[in-house]
Every structure is written in C-alpha cells, then in structure tokens.
Amino acid sequence: MGKLKVEDLKRIKESLKGTVNLRDGQHRVKITVHMGTCGIAAGARKIMDALFTRLEESGADDIMLTTSGCAGLCNHEPMLTVEVKDTTPVKYINLNEKKVLQIFDEHVMNNNPVADYALSQGSETTY
C-alpha cells in the first residue's frame, strides 16, 4: 500500500457529490453494533463488515451504522440494535452474518422487524 494518496481522496470526494450520507440526527435508521470485548470476541466485527457491504450495495443514504460498548448481555453477543425513526428500537441477539443480512433487508429496508432474532417482543403480560 504505502501512503494515502491525495488524488484518491479527491476522486472520492468528486464521486460523492450530492450522494453523501446524512449526518447524525438526520437518518431514517440507525444500526448500532455492540462492540464491547464480549461482542468483539463473539464476532461483532464480521457483523459490521457484512452490514458495510450490504449498506454500500443498497445505495441507501439515510442509514447510519455505528457501534456501542457492552450492553451487559454478553452471553447473547453478537448483538445489534435497529432504530427506525418513530418506531420502537429492536435489539437482536445471537447473530451471524446470514441473520444480519436478513435483518437488514427486512427490518432496515422495509421496516418489518424479524421477530425470530429479537431479544424480546413487547413487554411482559400480567395475565
């Protein structure tokens, strides 16, 4: 590789004109991959890589992909949280690359949460 080439950056900047992703606070969906020690050891980075690739392929410009630390449910890692604007956030657990792509296609793109991989649905009932 060597040093970063300025021409390459200029090229990126040119190619991105008008298609730039929205900044924090302006996105429709926020995906947070949990990247504590537990998450990383369980494969969170692979989840992140799979999401990058799919996000890029999708061409969507209203999705934000970010990371957070340990959520305290280490035995359920890898985990991620999907927050679609104006809907309830959903925490997904015990993920792999295949599951995560399904979540991206169904929940992130079509606002249709994948109940099978979610930590829980709704709150406890009292009857």
Partner 1 sequence: MEDLSLHILDIVENSTMAGATLVVIDILEDPKKNVLQITIEDNGRGMDQEMLKRVRDPFVTTRTTRSVGLGLSLLEQAAQETGGNMTVTSNTGQGTIVKVSFQTDHIDRKPLGDMGSTLTALIAGNPEVDFIYSDNLDNERMELDTRELRAELGDDVPMNDPAVLKFLRGLFEKPENS
- Chain residues in the site for partner 1 (CB under 8 A): 1-4, 6, 8-10, 12-13, 15-17, 20-21, 23, 33, 35-38, 40-41, 45, 48-49, 52, 55-56, 64-72, 74
CB closer to partner 1 out of 38 and 90: 38
At 77 the three-state DSSP class reads coil
Put the strands of the sheet holding 63-68 in their side by side order: 63-68, 29-34, 80-84, 90-92
Q: How far is the CB of 96 from partner 1 (least distance, A)?
A: 15
Q: How far is the CB of 44 from partner 1 (least distance, A)?
A: 8
Show Cβ contacts of residue 47 under 8 Å, excluding neighbours closer than 6 positions: 33, 78, 80, 95, 96, 97, 100
Q: How far is the CB of 53 from partner 1 (least distance, A)?
A: 9
CB closer to partner 1 out of 9 and 115: 9
At 4 the three-state DSSP class reads coil
